Structure 1
Amino acid sequence: MRTLVLYDSLSGNTEKIARAIHGTALEHDLDSELVKIDKSLDLDFFDYDLVFAGSPVIDWLPTKKMMDFIMARMKHYNSQGLIKPASPIIPGKFGVCFGTFGGPHIGEREAQPMTAWLRSFLEHLGYIVLDSWHVIGQFSHKEDLNAYGRLGNIQYRPHAEDVLEVQNRVTGLLASLEAWRQ
């Protein structure tokens, strides 16, 4: 199963999660690529069977770089006739959206619009999006924003337990997909 872990990261939180996903995919002998968004990136989502797409939450949405890239891909696919009315499912194409969110915010609900945005893109392509994962990450290095918000003290997040939870989710997801394929 050819796997893509596509992400953007500003402070390293989302990159830490993306690397955990990628590493776990490699441990399960998947052909996996870890790709950070950049302006010169040219990739074809249809080359991958399993796509993990992630970003930090910025004003309830992915980063501008991620959004610009996704919109450019959407326009390209649409011009090629690959975006179909009613977004028919392409058998064997799966996705997971993930994101990190920080302390001055209201919690996981703050991250849900961002992963919903990414999910909509993948579903327009015909992917079955299996899940959305939201991981707490410290907000920059501003102690007061990390220690006293609604989420409690989130300094040094994502920490080892957060990473382990993501690795376990990847392992479980891959086991489910393997069972489905048999």
Structure 2
Amino acid sequence: MNQERGRKVKKAVILFWSQTGNTEKVAKSIQTGLAEGGFDTTLLRVQEAEEMDFYDSDLVCIGAPSYSWHPPKPVDDYLKAKFNKYKKEGRVKINAPKIPGKNALVFCTYSGPHTGIREAVPVGKYLGQFFEHLGFTVVDEWYVLSEFHGSEENSTLGRMGNIKGLPSAEDLKRIRESARNLASRL
């Protein structure tokens, strides 16, 4: 067991799916911040995380982009498979009682060429529900405005204005600091 100043070091896993790199940048910033806050961290793409057990971590962070108000199919398939596995094991309980010390953080990248963050919020709520049904406390949902790669029009003319280059270095720094602060609260 890792010890830091006589207490157990908390474990966090940061799971993500990223097509263009936006969500991966956010995931790496979260990992850095949590590590700075004293967590032992693991960063995994959902495609690499089939065998990991959510219950082995004090904090599970899950991130995905918003695609037409939904997470990408690989993320949805991954979470449904994990949920069904835990249900068969009897870990999904009626009334979803909270398990002390088991927490989740949801993060979602979005471009918002049409209506902005309102397109991303359904994804965050959907992802969070998987963890609440497993007894985890969803400690926060983070929504990160990001460039719409591959479309000049969607990156410059949408309701959010010019979002090229987002998330910026300053955005990623704020995310890292927020993750460090979260680590100190858990």
The reply to whether TM is greater than 0.5 is yes
Q: Any conservation in 1 of the 2:103–2:136 contact (CA below 8 Å)?
A: yes
Establish whether residue 33 from structure 1 lines up as the match of residue 42 from structure 2: yes
Q: Secondary structure at the match of 2:28?
A: helix
**Greater shift after overlay, 19-28 or 78-87?**
19-28
Q: Which of the residues 2, 13, 24 maps onto 2:22?
A: 13
Q: Which has the higher contact order (CA 8 A, sep 6+)?
A: 2
**Greater shift after overlay, 126-135 or 30-39?**
30-39
| Alignment RMSD (CA, Å) | 1.2
Q: C-alpha displacement at 1:40, in angstroms?
A: 7.1
- The runs of 4+ residues in structure 1 deviating greater than 4 Å are none
The number of residue pairs the alignment matches comes to 177
Q: C-alpha displacement at 1:106, in angstroms?
A: 0.9
**Identity value in percent:** 37
Q: C-alpha displacement at 1:55, in angstroms?
A: 0.2
- What CA distance in whole angstroms lies between the structure 2 residues aligned with 1:28 and 1:171? 5
Q: Any conservation in 1 of the 2:144–2:167 contact (CA below 8 Å)?
A: yes
Q: Secondary structure at the match of 1:11?
A: coil
- What CA distance in whole angstroms lies between the structure 1 residues aligned with 2:112 and 2:83? 32
Letter in 1 for 2:74: K
Tell me what 1:102 maps to.
111
- What CA distance in whole angstroms lies between the structure 2 residues aligned with 1:31 and 1:40? 17
Structure 1: runs of 5+ lacking an equivalent = 178-182
Letter in 1 for 2:39: L
Tell me what 1:180 maps to.
none
Q: Any conservation in 2 of the 1:7–1:14 contact (CA below 8 Å)?
A: yes
Tell me what 1:63 maps to.
72
Q: C-alpha displacement at 1:3, in angstroms?
A: 0.2
Tell me what 2:92 maps to.
83
- What CA distance in whole angstroms lies between the structure 1 residues aligned with 2:63 and 2:165? 19
